[in-house]
Chain A
């Protein structure tokens, strides 16, 4: 009879994840045992300290390269970079979650998630000035899932991480204080489609296990290497795994949820998930493809080629027709996923570092843009319709200028980070011979530039009218986020070389 041997776990190497996990559990206890009055500050401090603490430990751990936890966890250069990116973006989003001075009613979240929209209960809670603090618990669990997602080195752990990341997000999306029905509809759509895509993922994992006899990514690779031909099963399995991941990044044709969720979710949550989920899912996708499936590169390259081109073109074209800023950003996110896939397809060390740079810079811009959107308001809450942005740049030049920087960066104009990242993935694509893919990407960027520039034109070149929204004065929280993201966008655009060097030195995914 076999005896069970517990796997060796390198607690130091996974300390950043453990810190967030412990904080998430403490956060549950806080919700359960502490009185309502002190929960909010405790939760906030807990979240900020755990994120910063994890980040510090991560920096101390920067030279660790190891596979631990019985082969389920791989800590390598890209994993460290991606974890750091997730933590920084989560920290910046946490400031937005903490913001309370923009809305006259308080923060962005429903006072009680359990109360039906428009019900007596809800009004009662609102009138009593309740604030719900469960959002922080969910936030920490989502971050935990993401951190685990990028280090997961076997399919089962990857699936668990995927769910730990996704379930809190489904809930958070439905918690908007204003326009709650829209928010709940978005949450339901996201949940149903998300559950469906998770099913694809787990089914795919089953098929791959059927082929390889293992769920460990390196062992799948070994199985592929030792089996000639007979790859149909594993190709289908791999494609199904990809469906699960491509859904998370909102790539065409798995993008249908994106606009509704971007629009319906509370803006801080849109910022959080828009930035970090991409980092986590692309990180996991690269590990999956490069570590486990490098043997059938031809098969997944073809799929990703098609998905990339479709995402770039369809995302850009539909974004052109949007009149709501958040929906436009959603379609832009779809197009940006396409651009990132160009780097993923390249499947080279320079491609990996280009994709990571893309995720960092794009994440920062996304958080910053949504932070700006959360400040633009009228009497009904956030004013996201583009017509209400007319002349905003004249009413509030600083906000207009910041938004302009973000838009130029998303459009990929030089001297902003957006140019550098687009250039990096294109160069990586070219180096691997994907010339036509890059040409399609350049064409899509030209199309995309128009709708980004249109926001600038509306802000600065239309006269303000009675419908023009006003800019709420933020507290220190949102100010920090906006200042940090805009600074980073410009610095990474003007002197990108240190970051490029850092990412190049991070190396590749280990087996």
Chain B
């Protein structure tokens, strides 16, 4: 293996960029934005270069592993490393950042904070997002997990809409509370590791290898899961999300929902499942129930929303239900599907929010559905991109989200037929609210106030092209993604100690003959 510290480099690049952006002169906003864009592109380039060196079928659990001692007395190390899942999510994060910078080029102009500050915050956040996915020390993960709150808090609280400070505070308090419970569990985990091995540690691989008493697992699991369920967010921990998304700039929302919330689902699959396998199977029915409720609750509430951003937030909640479902049905298809779904959802969210941002900038900042109508007549390119993102959101075959959703449902069917059946109904709901948005805003008679709306300019198109391209290319040819994800998921299933139920391609009258993934 190469020994170049790829991950540290990648995590530090945006941070360096943000420092430079802050030091730039205040009046020259354009220069600051260009520098931010350049740094995000360099980071993306580095991630691509690293990915090319990634060996999908490597024996090692974590590749590009680095480790530096931090607080040896507590067994805390500064260690990085990626498996297939983390790699894919880092790639997602670093792809979305340049898109957000380009798409949100004019976002911070009317805000109370400075323009360069906004873009510096985006870069800081990018650094932390890479760190959170790359950390292989649980304490380090926690630090990044909590540190992410700071830039997001300021991005919402200083650059958001009229209710921004309420939304930012709600976001912060929800996350802090979740974080506190996770911290308590984290200390508990250290205690357990100290009792089993004699010396406490936060090293992920060591912790996975411990044979923790199932009753203790059940307790510690809750602390982690609570934090992740707030972050993701799952029903009923979701109420901060619509407020945050409704007040934040579209670019902020892309990063918040597209990447940050994935930390919650990533945390479930990485930490809850692997460190607490017994507890995960024990709680699986509860989580699946919450996930199903979320799918429908989010869908129904989305149907009634009049503000596009709040609507997308609720639809995301529904999608997070699918992701959590795929994780907790304990089949390799379901879990691979969940990871693909995370990527797909990140891409479609980016498309939807950025397109919504374009629409808002043309209608004085309003995201109300009633402000639009017949837009496809005056701005066909905008409408076209919007349609691609919308179709991706409803998981049309040929889009990457279809693959994710299909695999999740397949996994659910393999394990619990009824769960799969119920979840499938959720698809209809998704189609209903997504198409309703498109119909109300883009089709029909032209809303007189949209008369003379300008179509997308070159910059705006440039931002959306990669999103649309990825949605379709990966939808048609998902092999690169699956090749990277599958080995990681297989290893994960082995650690958790579950195997896929035997699927005998039953004739329809034969019930699925398995009792599910206990050890």
Contact = CB atoms under 8 A, between A and B. Distances in A.
Contacts of B143: 414-415
A445 B146 CA distance: 17
Nearest to A460: B169
Contacts of A413: 146, 183
B24 to A, nearest CB: 22
Contacts of A414: 139, 142-143, 146, 183
**What are the 5 A-B residue pairs with the smallest beta carbon separation, nearest first?**
A461-B169, A500-B73, A430-B191, A442-B184, A449-B180
B176 A453 contact: yes
Interface string B167-184: 001000100100011011
Contacts of A446: 180-181, 184
Contacts of B194: 427, 430-431
A186 B184 CA distance: 37
Nearest to B191: A430
Interface residues of B, number: 25
Nearest to B75: A427
B191 A457 contact: no
A426 B187 contact: yes
A177 to B, nearest CB: 38
Contacts, number: 54
Interface string A65-81: 00000000000000000
Interface of A: 412-415, 420, 423-424, 426-427, 430-431, 435, 438, 442-443, 445-446, 449, 453, 457, 461, 496-497, 500, 504
B169 A457 contact: yes
B15 to A, nearest CB: 16
A504 B71 CA distance: 14
Given A423-B187, A430-B191, A430-B194, A496 B173 contact: no
A244 to B, nearest CB: 33
Contacts of B452: none
B4 to A, nearest CB: 26
A497 B187 contact: no
B380 interface: no
27 contacts: A413-B183, A414-B183, A415-B147, A420-B71, A420-B74, A423-B74, A423-B187, A423-B190, A424-B73, A426-B191, A427-B74, A427-B190, A430-B194, A430-B195, A431-B194, A443-B184, A446-B180, A446-B184, A457-B169, A461-B165, A461-B169, A496-B71, A497-B70, A497-B71, A497-B72, A500-B71, A500-B73
Interface string B130-143: 00000000010011
A455 to B, nearest CB: 13
B406 to A, nearest CB: 41
A414 B145 CA distance: 11
Interface string B265-296: 00000000000000000000000000000000
Nearest to A414: B143
A424 B73 CA distance: 9
B437 to A, nearest CB: 33
Contacts of B180: 446, 449
Interface of B: 70-74, 139, 142-143, 146-147, 165, 169, 173, 176, 180-181, 183-184, 187-188, 190-191, 194-195, 200
A457 B74 contact: no
Contact of A438 (B72, B73, B169, B191): B191
A307 to B, nearest CB: 22
Nearest to B168: A461
Nearest to A445: B184
A435 B188 CA distance: 10
Contacts of B72: 497
Nearest to A350: B73
A304 to B, nearest CB: 20
B188 A497 contact: no
Contact of B200 (A427, A438, A443, A496): A427
Contacts of A461: 165, 169
Contacts of B184: 442-443, 445-446
A246 to B, nearest CB: 26
Nearest to B200: A427
A453 B180 CA distance: 11
Nearest to A497: B71
Nearest to B142: A414
A413 B143 CA distance: 9
B223 to A, nearest CB: 10
A333 B455 CA distance: 63
Instruction: Give the most central of B165, B191, B200: most A CB within 10 Å.
Output: B191
A189 to B, nearest CB: 35
Contacts of A445: 184
Contacts of A449: 180
A445 B188 CA distance: 13
B127 to A, nearest CB: 15
B182 to A, nearest CB: 11
A431 B183 CA distance: 19
B446 to A, nearest CB: 42
Given A442-B187, A445-B184, 12 more contacts: A414-B139, A414-B143, A420-B71, A423-B190, A426-B187, A427-B191, A435-B191, A446-B184, A449-B180, A461-B165, A461-B169, A497-B73
Nearest to B173: A457
From B173, B187, B191, name the one whose CB has the most chain A CB atoms within 10 angstroms.
Answer: B187
A152 B210 CA distance: 46
A504 B74 CA distance: 13
Contacts of A504: 73
Contacts of A497: 70-73
A126 B176 CA distance: 48
A426 B189 CA distance: 12
A349 B184 CA distance: 25
A415 B169 CA distance: 22
Contacts of B188: 442
A438 B192 CA distance: 12
Nearest to B172: A461
A457 B190 CA distance: 30
A157 to B, nearest CB: 34
B203 to A, nearest CB: 16
A155 to B, nearest CB: 35
Contacts of B139: 414
Contacts of B190: 423, 427
B271 to A, nearest CB: 16
A153 B200 CA distance: 35
A132 B169 CA distance: 46
A500 to B, nearest CB: 5
B117 to A, nearest CB: 14
Contacts of B191: 426-427, 430, 435, 438
A497 B165 CA distance: 38
Nearest to A431: B194
Contacts of A415: 143, 147
A345 to B, nearest CB: 16
A350 to B, nearest CB: 9
Nearest to A415: B143
